[in-house]
A = this chain, B = another copy of it.
Amino acid sequence: MPSKQVNKSMSTPIQMIDSDSSRQTAHVPAPAHSYKVFNRIIDWITNDRMQLLNITDRINEIVRKSGVRDGLVHLQSLHTTSAVFLNEWQDALLHDAKTFFDQIVKRDEYYRHNDPAYSDCERRNADSHMRGMLMGQTLCLQVRNATVLLGTWQSIIFAEFDGPRSRSLAVQVSGV
């Protein structure tokens, strides 16, 4: 079998529709003086060791205040034992997600980070670090028409992996 060859299912012609007329936001004129960067830090206190928070409304509120109509909103959790990502906000699914995090990174395995012989960290939170590293602490989304662009089922989720704790999220909106 030849290498570097796209297989059948992949070479199936993809129907690409370029939504020129209906959905394209035309070239934003962007008067030079209008480029701006709007920085905020939001804080909260979590209640459980692992907890998922829906922060979508909070982010949209900041985007509205920023005065940016088209550009990017960048979210950065300032903690290594946390993460920010998109998913559907449904109770059953959130339960599955937590189970998945528990299974993909076991809490009770041996970790040097939890071993006083190797580490001075007393939180025994190596699993929290692995989960944060795997899921990522940053998320960048598009701003269009002065709101965060999200698909119908997409919510912005902050994941606490080592709570309860006080947590900070840096939000930056930039654009025109």
Binding site for B on A (CB under 8 A): 1, 3-7, 9-10, 12, 14-19, 23-25, 27-28, 30-48, 51-54, 58, 67, 70-72, 74, 76-80, 85-97, 100, 104-105, 111-113, 115, 117-121, 126, 129-130, 132-142, 144, 149-154, 168, 170, 172, 174-176
Contacts and interface: CB of A to CB of B under 8 A. Distances in A.
A74 B72 contact: yes
A28 B36 contact: yes
B97 A130 contact: yes
Contacts of A136: 85-86, 136
A174 to B, nearest CB: 6
Number of copies: 3
A82 B100 CA distance: 17
Nearest to A112: B92
Nearest to A61: B18
B3 A91 contact: yes
A91 B118 contact: yes
Contacts of A6: 54, 89, 91
A87 B135 CA distance: 11
Contacts of A175: 37, 174
Nearest to A2: B91
Nearest to A15: B45
Nearest to A150: B78
Contacts of A89: 6
Nearest to A152: B78
